[in-house]
Amino acid sequence: MMTQEVKQLLPADFSPTSRVWIYQSNRPFNERETLEINEQLHQFASQWLSHGDRVQGWATLLFNQVIVVMADESATGVSGCSTDSSVRIIKSIERQYEVNLFDRLLLGFMVNDKIQLLPLAQIAYAFEKGFINEETLYLNNTVLTKEEMERQWLIPVKDSWVMKKLQTA
Protein backbone atom coordinates (compact mmCIF):
# COMPACT_ATOMS: atom_id res chain seq x y z
CA MET A 1 0.00 0.00 0.00
CA MET A 2 1.66 3.14 -1.20
CA THR A 3 0.86 6.82 -1.24
CA GLN A 4 -1.31 6.50 -4.37
CA GLU A 5 -3.44 3.80 -2.75
CA VAL A 6 -3.84 5.82 0.46
CA LYS A 7 -4.98 8.76 -1.67
CA GLN A 8 -7.71 6.60 -3.23
CA LEU A 9 -9.06 5.63 0.21
CA LEU A 10 -9.54 9.26 1.28
CA PRO A 11 -12.41 11.53 0.17
CA ALA A 12 -11.33 13.22 -3.08
CA ASP A 13 -13.57 16.28 -2.52
CA PHE A 14 -11.94 17.21 0.81
CA SER A 15 -9.41 20.04 0.98
CA PRO A 16 -5.74 19.00 1.32
CA THR A 17 -5.71 21.01 4.57
CA SER A 18 -8.51 18.90 6.10
CA ARG A 19 -7.67 17.94 9.67
CA VAL A 20 -6.96 14.28 10.37
CA TRP A 21 -7.03 12.23 13.57
CA ILE A 22 -5.73 8.65 13.53
CA TYR A 23 -6.51 6.03 16.15
CA GLN A 24 -4.77 2.67 15.93
CA SER A 25 -6.36 -0.30 17.67
CA ASN A 26 -4.21 -2.67 19.70
CA ARG A 27 -5.84 -5.54 17.77
CA PRO A 28 -7.53 -6.00 14.39
CA PHE A 29 -11.32 -6.03 14.33
CA ASN A 30 -13.16 -9.02 12.89
CA GLU A 31 -15.51 -8.71 9.93
CA ARG A 32 -18.67 -8.15 12.01
CA GLU A 33 -16.93 -5.56 14.22
CA THR A 34 -15.54 -3.79 11.14
CA LEU A 35 -19.03 -3.47 9.64
CA GLU A 36 -20.48 -2.20 12.92
CA ILE A 37 -17.66 0.28 13.51
CA ASN A 38 -17.83 1.64 9.97
CA GLU A 39 -21.59 2.12 10.43
CA GLN A 40 -21.01 4.01 13.73
CA LEU A 41 -18.28 6.15 12.15
CA HIS A 42 -20.47 6.94 9.13
CA GLN A 43 -23.38 7.90 11.44
CA PHE A 44 -21.08 10.12 13.48
CA ALA A 45 -19.54 11.86 10.44
CA SER A 46 -22.95 12.49 8.85
CA GLN A 47 -24.24 14.19 12.03
CA TRP A 48 -21.04 15.95 13.15
CA LEU A 49 -21.71 19.54 14.24
CA SER A 50 -19.61 22.48 15.35
CA HIS A 51 -21.64 25.15 17.15
CA GLY A 52 -24.76 23.96 15.33
CA ASP A 53 -23.15 24.02 11.88
CA ARG A 54 -22.59 20.81 10.00
CA VAL A 55 -18.94 19.73 9.80
CA GLN A 56 -17.89 18.22 6.49
CA GLY A 57 -16.66 15.08 8.20
CA TRP A 58 -15.52 11.66 7.15
CA ALA A 59 -14.52 8.65 9.23
CA THR A 60 -13.63 5.08 8.42
CA LEU A 61 -11.77 2.02 9.59
CA LEU A 62 -8.73 1.11 7.47
CA PHE A 63 -6.97 -2.27 7.48
CA ASN A 64 -9.56 -3.45 10.08
CA GLN A 65 -7.40 -1.73 12.69
CA VAL A 66 -6.94 2.01 12.10
CA ILE A 67 -9.72 4.57 12.53
CA VAL A 68 -9.29 7.76 10.54
CA VAL A 69 -11.46 10.80 11.28
CA MET A 70 -11.25 13.77 8.92
CA ALA A 71 -12.82 17.22 8.93
CA ASP A 72 -12.71 19.56 5.96
CA GLU A 73 -12.64 22.95 7.63
CA SER A 74 -12.87 24.98 4.42
CA ALA A 75 -16.60 25.44 5.15
CA THR A 76 -16.99 24.91 8.92
CA GLY A 77 -14.16 25.04 11.43
CA VAL A 78 -13.92 22.33 14.06
CA SER A 79 -14.28 23.70 17.57
CA GLY A 80 -13.07 22.16 20.81
CA CYS A 81 -16.57 20.82 21.44
CA SER A 82 -16.75 19.11 18.06
CA THR A 83 -13.27 17.61 18.57
CA ASP A 84 -14.52 16.32 21.94
CA SER A 85 -17.49 14.68 20.23
CA SER A 86 -15.14 12.82 17.87
CA VAL A 87 -13.09 11.63 20.85
CA ARG A 88 -16.32 10.45 22.53
CA ILE A 89 -17.18 8.16 19.60
CA ILE A 90 -13.62 6.74 19.69
CA LYS A 91 -13.85 6.12 23.46
CA SER A 92 -17.25 4.52 22.95
CA ILE A 93 -15.76 2.14 20.35
CA GLU A 94 -12.91 1.38 22.78
CA ARG A 95 -15.38 0.37 25.50
CA GLN A 96 -17.71 -1.50 23.17
CA TYR A 97 -14.97 -3.66 21.62
CA GLU A 98 -12.55 -3.74 24.56
CA VAL A 99 -9.60 -2.30 22.62
CA ASN A 100 -7.08 0.46 23.24
CA LEU A 101 -7.15 3.23 20.62
CA PHE A 102 -4.94 5.69 22.50
CA ASP A 103 -1.71 3.72 23.10
CA ARG A 104 0.95 5.93 21.50
CA LEU A 105 3.78 3.58 22.55
CA LEU A 106 2.47 0.83 20.26
CA LEU A 107 3.88 1.45 16.78
CA GLY A 108 2.35 0.07 13.60
CA PHE A 109 4.29 -1.45 10.72
CA MET A 110 3.14 -3.10 7.49
CA VAL A 111 4.57 -6.61 7.46
CA ASN A 112 3.32 -8.96 4.72
CA ASP A 113 0.44 -6.55 3.94
CA LYS A 114 -0.83 -6.71 7.52
CA ILE A 115 -0.41 -4.28 10.37
CA GLN A 116 1.98 -5.56 13.01
CA LEU A 117 2.21 -3.66 16.26
CA LEU A 118 5.42 -3.36 18.21
CA PRO A 119 5.93 -1.69 21.57
CA LEU A 120 8.40 1.18 21.28
CA ALA A 121 10.76 -0.65 23.65
CA GLN A 122 11.02 -3.63 21.23
CA ILE A 123 11.77 -1.73 18.01
CA ALA A 124 15.56 -2.16 18.20
CA TYR A 125 15.17 -5.91 18.84
CA ALA A 126 12.70 -6.30 15.93
CA PHE A 127 15.10 -4.43 13.65
CA GLU A 128 18.09 -6.48 14.81
CA LYS A 129 16.20 -9.75 14.21
CA GLY A 130 15.03 -8.64 10.74
CA PHE A 131 11.33 -8.53 11.61
CA ILE A 132 11.36 -4.95 10.31
CA ASN A 133 13.97 -3.21 8.17
CA GLU A 134 14.66 0.19 6.60
CA GLU A 135 12.08 -0.43 3.85
CA THR A 136 9.28 -1.68 6.14
CA LEU A 137 6.36 0.74 6.01
CA TYR A 138 5.74 2.57 9.27
CA LEU A 139 2.32 4.00 10.14
CA ASN A 140 3.13 7.60 10.95
CA ASN A 141 -0.05 8.29 12.92
CA THR A 142 1.11 11.80 13.83
CA VAL A 143 0.03 13.28 10.48
CA LEU A 144 -2.35 16.21 10.95
CA THR A 145 -3.83 16.92 7.50
CA LYS A 146 -5.22 15.01 4.53
CA GLU A 147 -2.22 16.11 2.46
CA GLU A 148 0.23 14.85 5.12
CA MET A 149 -1.69 11.59 5.32
CA GLU A 150 -1.46 11.12 1.56
CA ARG A 151 2.29 11.76 1.52
CA GLN A 152 3.63 10.81 4.93
CA TRP A 153 1.31 8.32 6.62
CA LEU A 154 2.80 5.09 5.28
CA ILE A 155 6.52 5.74 5.04
CA PRO A 156 9.58 3.50 5.02
CA VAL A 157 11.20 3.18 8.44
CA LYS A 158 14.34 4.83 7.00
CA ASP A 159 12.35 8.06 6.41
CA SER A 160 10.79 8.16 9.89
CA TRP A 161 11.81 9.24 13.38
CA VAL A 162 12.01 5.51 14.20
CA MET A 163 15.25 5.28 12.19
CA LYS A 164 16.81 8.11 14.17
CA LYS A 165 15.82 6.31 17.37
CA LEU A 166 17.40 3.08 16.10
CA GLN A 167 20.62 4.87 15.20
CA THR A 168 20.95 6.32 18.69
CA ALA A 169 20.04 3.02 20.40
Binned at pLDDT 50, 70 and 90, residue 3 comes out as low
The pTM of this model reads 0.92
- pLDDT tops 80 at residue 44: yes
- What pLDDT score does 32 carry? 98
pLDDT, tens only, 70-129: 999 887 777 777 788 899 999 999 999 999 999 989 999 999 889 999 999 999 999 999
What is the DSSP-derived secondary structure letter of residue 59?
A: E
Residue 168 has pLDDT above 60, yes or no: yes
Q: Rounded to an integer, what distance in angstroms lies between the CA atom of residue 86 and that of residue 45?
A: 9
Please choose, from the candidates 34, 22, 20, the residue with its C-alpha nearest in 3D space to the C-alpha of residue 103. 22
Angle among Cα 74, 4, 136 to the nearest 5 degrees reads 115
Domains of the chain, with CATH numbers? Answer: 14-97 (3.30.1360)
Q: For the stretch 17-29, what's the b/e string if a residue is b when 16 or more beta carbons lie within 10 angstroms of its beta carbon? A: ebbbbbbbbeebb
What is the Cα–Cα distance from 25 to 34, expressed in whole angstroms? 12
